[in-house]
Amino acid sequence: MANPKPTTGSMFDNLNRPDNLPDEIAQQIRQKIISQAFEPGQRLPTEFELSQLFGVSRNVVREAIARLKLSGYIETKRGVGSFVAAEPGPHNFEILPADLLQADALEHVYQLRVEIEAGAAALAAQQRTEVQLEALRQALLRVDAAGEDWRHGADRALDFHMAVCQATNNPYFVRLLSLFGRAIGDAVRTLRYSSAGTDRVAQIEAEHHSIFDAIAARDSDAARAAMREHLTNGMQRRHALLRGNACAVEPETAGRG
């Protein structure tokens, strides 16, 4: 007697129908591998079986599998199928979206960001060109112009930080900050939203100007200290929110009221 076909609920969670289905499917399979529900060397369900389980097309499943292969979690054998890698895990540095739902993991990412961006600011003070300084100045003006528009302000602030990294003339700083920006964008917007209407917005603007002034003066020590103070203040603000000392609503909720 044939075994009954597993349902989506018995193996995977129902999809939330996000904008990027391959990402969510890859994330669910990745979590199964990390938890060893799928063990090293184990053959995964076929593309057809996965498409039935998730209720999506085989092309969507194929994209998810490609992402898992690229990140080192699975291996594929032509004509045979996909298997959990013998030593599954990211071959490239990555920040998983699911990790950032945990307060401790998000704080760890922020701690790493502080150390990297403080160093980037110091290097930018040494390496920036006049053209890059002008680009940084324009990015700063756009942050200032955003004012109390929390969503626009958060995006422009991330642009300012990217301009600092570009001024290092070190492509690896740019790659890392691009990764951080995508990973913590929602957290940055939360902080900016919670700061609207408070003196924290003016403080953020002053901190950005301090970073810019130090880079313009080619003062590496001051640039490092200014960036560290700015990001540390942001971490402390988030701690206050988590402790309930500030009243905030998540941006995704606030923007849809």
Q: Each residue of 165-223: pLDDT tens digit?
A: 999 999 988 888 877 776 677 667 776 677 777 777 788 899 999 999 999 999 999 99
pLDDT of residue 16: 59
For residue 94, the model assigns a pLDDT of: 67
Q: Is the pTM of this model over 0.95?
A: no
Is the pLDDT higher at 31 or at 229? 229
Q: Euclidean distance between the first and final Cα of the chain, in Å?
A: 53
Contacts of 77 (CB under 8 A, 6+ apart): 83
Taking the C-alpha atoms of residue 84 and residue 74, their distance in angstroms, rounded to an integer, is 4
- Residue (of 71, 42, 55, 65) closest to 8 by Cα position: 55
Residue 163 has pLDDT above 50, yes or no: yes
pLDDT of residue 230: 94
pLDDT at position 75? 92
Q: Dihedral of the CA atoms 160, 164, 169, 173 (nearest 10)? A: -90
pLDDT of residue 256: 33
In the prediction, which pLDDT does 7 show? 41
The whole-number average pLDDT for the span 120-139 is 97
The residue among 198, 235, 13 whose CA lies nearest residue 118 is 235
Kindly state the tokens that stand for 78.
Answer: 């032509």
Q: Quickly count: other Cβ atoms within 10 Å of residue 240's Cβ.
A: 13
The mean per-residue pLDDT over the stretch 13-18 comes to 62
pLDDT at 23: 83
pLDDT tens for 47-106 read 999 999 999 999 999 999 988 888 888 998 888 899 999 887 765 566 766 666 667 777
In this structure, what are the phi and psi dihedrals at residue 82, rounded to the nearest 5 degrees? Answer: -110, 140
- Is the per-residue pLDDT at 229 higher than 70? yes
- pLDDT range class, residue 1, cuts 50, 70, 90: very low
The length of the chain is: 257
For 24, phi and psi rounded to 5 degrees? -70, -40
31-42: average pLDDT? 89
The Cα–Cα gap between 39 and 96 comes to 20
Domains parsed from the chain with CATH numbers: 8-84 (1.10.10.10), 97-254 (1.20.120.530)
Helices of type H across 35-129: 47-54, 58-70, 103-127
Tell which wins on pLDDT, 94 or 17.
Answer: 94
pLDDT of residue 8: 43
